[in-house]
Protein backbone atom coordinates (compact mmCIF):
# COMPACT_ATOMS: atom_id res chain seq x y z
CA UNK A 1 0.00 0.00 0.00
CA UNK A 2 1.29 3.44 -0.89
CA UNK A 3 1.35 5.71 2.10
CA UNK A 4 1.76 9.42 2.30
CA UNK A 5 5.25 9.14 3.76
CA UNK A 6 6.44 6.96 0.85
CA UNK A 7 5.09 9.47 -1.64
CA UNK A 8 6.82 12.29 0.19
CA UNK A 9 10.08 10.35 0.19
CA UNK A 10 9.80 9.63 -3.53
CA UNK A 11 9.10 13.30 -4.23
CA UNK A 12 12.11 14.36 -2.19
CA UNK A 13 14.36 11.89 -4.03
CA UNK A 14 13.08 13.09 -7.39
CA UNK A 15 13.71 16.72 -6.47
CA UNK A 16 17.23 15.93 -5.32
CA UNK A 17 18.03 14.03 -8.52
CA UNK A 18 16.60 16.76 -10.72
CA UNK A 19 18.75 19.46 -9.08
CA UNK A 20 22.07 17.95 -10.20
CA UNK A 21 23.41 20.46 -12.71
CA UNK A 22 26.88 18.93 -13.16
CA UNK A 23 26.84 15.31 -11.98
CA UNK A 24 30.53 14.81 -12.76
CA UNK A 25 31.46 17.68 -10.45
CA UNK A 26 29.48 16.36 -7.48
CA UNK A 27 32.44 14.10 -6.70
CA UNK A 28 34.53 17.18 -5.92
CA UNK A 29 31.83 19.22 -4.20
CA UNK A 30 31.78 19.53 -0.41
CA UNK A 31 27.99 19.96 -0.57
CA UNK A 32 25.55 17.21 -1.52
CA UNK A 33 23.93 19.34 -4.25
CA UNK A 34 25.28 21.90 -6.67
CA UNK A 35 22.61 24.55 -6.39
CA UNK A 36 24.50 27.78 -7.10
CA UNK A 37 27.34 28.78 -9.37
CA UNK A 38 29.50 29.30 -6.30
CA UNK A 39 29.14 25.59 -5.50
CA UNK A 40 30.15 24.76 -9.07
CA UNK A 41 33.22 27.01 -8.84
CA UNK A 42 34.29 25.39 -5.55
CA UNK A 43 33.90 21.95 -7.15
CA UNK A 44 35.99 23.06 -10.15
CA UNK A 45 38.66 24.35 -7.76
CA UNK A 46 38.83 21.00 -5.91
CA UNK A 47 38.85 19.09 -9.23
CA UNK A 48 41.74 21.18 -10.54
CA UNK A 49 43.65 20.66 -7.27
CA UNK A 50 43.11 16.91 -7.61
CA UNK A 51 44.33 17.00 -11.22
CA UNK A 52 47.42 18.95 -10.17
CA UNK A 53 48.16 16.37 -7.46
CA UNK A 54 47.84 13.50 -9.93
CA UNK A 55 50.09 15.18 -12.49
CA UNK A 56 52.70 16.13 -9.90
CA UNK A 57 52.76 12.57 -8.55
CA UNK A 58 53.46 11.27 -12.07
CA UNK A 59 56.22 13.84 -12.53
CA UNK A 60 57.86 12.89 -9.24
CA UNK A 61 57.65 9.22 -10.22
CA UNK A 62 59.35 10.07 -13.51
CA UNK A 63 62.22 11.71 -11.63
CA UNK A 64 62.33 8.73 -9.24
CA UNK A 65 61.45 10.57 -6.05
CA UNK A 66 59.34 7.73 -4.70
CA UNK A 67 58.63 9.06 -1.20
CA UNK A 68 57.53 12.44 -2.46
CA UNK A 69 55.29 10.75 -5.02
CA UNK A 70 53.84 8.51 -2.31
CA UNK A 71 52.98 11.52 -0.12
CA UNK A 72 51.40 13.36 -3.05
CA UNK A 73 49.35 10.28 -3.97
CA UNK A 74 48.15 10.00 -0.36
CA UNK A 75 46.94 13.62 -0.52
CA UNK A 76 45.29 12.85 -3.86
CA UNK A 77 43.43 9.89 -2.36
CA UNK A 78 42.55 11.77 0.82
CA UNK A 79 40.96 14.71 -1.04
CA UNK A 80 37.92 12.94 -2.61
CA UNK A 81 37.45 10.78 0.49
CA UNK A 82 37.29 13.86 2.72
CA UNK A 83 34.89 15.63 0.35
CA UNK A 84 32.61 12.58 0.34
CA UNK A 85 32.59 12.47 4.14
CA UNK A 86 31.68 16.17 4.31
CA UNK A 87 28.82 15.62 1.81
CA UNK A 88 27.46 12.78 3.93
CA UNK A 89 27.66 14.85 7.12
CA UNK A 90 25.85 17.77 5.49
CA UNK A 91 23.18 15.45 4.10
CA UNK A 92 22.56 13.99 7.55
CA UNK A 93 22.30 17.45 9.12
CA UNK A 94 19.93 18.61 6.42
CA UNK A 95 17.82 15.47 6.79
CA UNK A 96 17.52 16.01 10.55
CA UNK A 97 16.90 19.74 10.50
CA UNK A 98 14.49 20.12 7.59
CA UNK A 99 11.51 17.78 7.81
CA UNK A 100 9.07 17.98 4.94
CA UNK A 101 5.72 19.37 6.08
CA UNK A 102 2.54 20.00 4.18
Whether pLDDT at 65 is above 70: yes
Across 45-54, average pLDDT: 96
pTM check: above 0.85: no
CA distances from 81 to 19, 27, 84 (A): 23, 9, 5
Contacts of 71 (CB under 8 A, 6+ apart): none
Q: What is the pLDDT of residue 101?
A: 56
Across 38-65, average pLDDT: 94
81 vs 26, more confident: 81
Average pLDDT, the chain: 84
- The Cα 98–Cα 66 span in angstroms is 48
| Residues 73-91 pLDDT 10s | 999 999 999 999 998 888 7
Centre a 10 Å sphere on the Cβ of residue 46 and count the other Cβ atoms it contains: 19
Amino acid sequence: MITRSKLVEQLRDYQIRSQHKCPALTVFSPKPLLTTWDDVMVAILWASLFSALVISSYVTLYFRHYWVSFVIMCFGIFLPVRLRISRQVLARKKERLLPLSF
